[in-house]
């Protein structure tokens, strides 16, 4: 595997050469990217020697496009240590040096971060908010560990050991013993913010998506479950939950996770539109005047994954229809490059949002068609998994 190791300016940067050595020993190709502050704790010569490749640390050294060529070369980006500064930059979309620019360019490929900072910094609400955002985007976090810190205190904030990070790299790409491998599932609604207390949403409970995640895990798959706001919790140990709120957050998480998955089932009820402007305070009523909201279109997650799909990957969508059900579902199946589409109709009693049962028709790109009677969503999920998973 081709891995880029990013090093930032924390004291734990001195451990980066050992991480590179371990990854090379395991058979990976490694190149390094470092911030200017990282080179206060380790050296260019050391990193180039252990990696066997030139260090990327100057954004403009080769015409300012190395972040693109390195992104194209690399299959995985590991940032160790990941300081509060680089975490904040990624969440805010700031690209003002070599590594932060590379991180933003890596938006559709897997990223692992090993946070390292003082325990008070780690506990700060801003850092914790940023960490939750990274998790929602599908970025894997390793650590931090608890122990002695460089400042002389003890607490949570110590970078995970190089051996632990190397194990996380390999476990991310290990093919499970089950032939199902790793699957992405989306579930629940999305909330599109109007102001600090109001949002546009829908009635999805997330029950169908969570049932699908459980059915895949029971069948042996490793599951990445990206869910909008729900009150549900996954119970199976092979389900990794990523909680998001808006359609754009779900888009970022799904597109980031899909390249490392064998398949995806997108059952979330994603809002097609969001308010063009979102107030950070409660909007007050203006007399008897009404409120006019201008809506703009959200990114189409299913269509984007359809363009990203590689040979061997399976992509399954859902279609909740109210009229011309089969015609609309078949059109969506072809238009978005799906392998299967699961159609249910709001005309069927006991099917749809908020209930514990469902009734579906599974349409395949090969022309196959399978209908279910009204069953529990767990039974429907098992039927879907047995049909769409190889």
Positions marked active-site: 151
Two tokens at 360?
A: 């579906």
d(C-alpha 182, C-alpha 308), whole Å: 16
Q: Cα 15–153–151 angle (5° rounding)? A: 55
Alpha carbons within 13 angstroms on the beta-carbon side of residue 192 total 21
Question: What are the phi and psi torsion angles at 350 (to 5°)?
Answer: 85, 5
Two tokens at 213?
A: 């995640």
d(C-alpha 352, C-alpha 240), whole Å: 25
Two tokens at 339?
A: 């392998």
126, 141 in Cβ contact below 8 A?
no
258, 184 in Cβ contact below 8 A?
yes
d(C-alpha 34, C-alpha 81), whole Å: 10
164, 142 in Cβ contact below 8 A?
yes
């490694």: which residue's tokens? 30
d(C-alpha 143, C-alpha 153), whole Å: 18
DSSP classification of residue 176? P
Beta strands at 192-193 and 199-200: parallel, antiparallel or unpaired? antiparallel
Three-state SS at 104: helix
């Amino acid at each position: 595997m081709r891995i880029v190791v990013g090093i930032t300016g924390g004291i734990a940067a001195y451990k980066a050469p050992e991480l590179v050595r371990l990854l090379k020993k395991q058979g990976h190709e490694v190149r390094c990217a470092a911030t200017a502050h990282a080179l206060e704790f380790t050296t260019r010569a050391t990193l180039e020697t252990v990696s066997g490749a030139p260090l990327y640390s100057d954004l403009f050294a080769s015409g300012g496009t190395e972040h693109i060529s390195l992104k194209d070369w690399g299959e995985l980006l590991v940032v160790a240590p990941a300081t509060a500064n680089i975490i904040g930059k990624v969440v805010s979309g700031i690209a003002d040096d070599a590594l932060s620019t590379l991180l933003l360019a890596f938006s559709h490929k897997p990223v692992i971060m090993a946070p390292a900072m003082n325990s008070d910094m780690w506990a700060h609400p801003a850092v914790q908010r940023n960490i939750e955002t990274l998790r929602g985007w599908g970025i894997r976090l390793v650590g931090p560990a608890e122990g002695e810190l460089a400042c002389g205190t003890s607490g949570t904030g110590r970078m995970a050991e190089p051996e632990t990070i190397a194990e996380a790299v390999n476990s991310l790409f290990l093919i499970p013993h089950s032939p199902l491998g790793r699957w992405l599932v989306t579930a629940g609604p999305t909330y599109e913010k109007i102001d600090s207390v109001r949002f546009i949403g829908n009635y999805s409970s997330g029950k169908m998506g969570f049932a699908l995640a459980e059915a895949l895990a029971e069948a042996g798959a490793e599951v990445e479950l990206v869910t909008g706001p729900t009150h549900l919790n996954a119970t199976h140990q092979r389900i990794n939950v990523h909680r998001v709120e808006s359609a754009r957050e779900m888009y970022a998480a799904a597109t980031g996770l899909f390249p490392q998955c064998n398949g995806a089932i997108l059952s979330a009820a994603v809002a097609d539109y969001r308010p063009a402007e979102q107030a950070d305070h409660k909007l007050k009523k203006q007399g008897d005047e009404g409120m006019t909201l201008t809506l703009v279109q959200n990114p189409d997650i299913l269509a984007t994954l359809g363009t990203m799909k590689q040979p061997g990957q399976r992509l399954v969508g859902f279609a909740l229809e109210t009229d011309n059900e089969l015609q609309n579902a078949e059109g969506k199946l072809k238009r978005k490059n799906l392998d299967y589409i699961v159609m249910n109709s709001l005309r069927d009693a006991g099917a749809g949002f908020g209930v514990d049962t469902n009734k579906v028709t599974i349409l395949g790109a090969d022309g196959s068609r399978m209908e279910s009677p009204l069953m529990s969503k767990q039974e429907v999920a098992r039927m879907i998994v047995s049909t769409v998973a190889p």
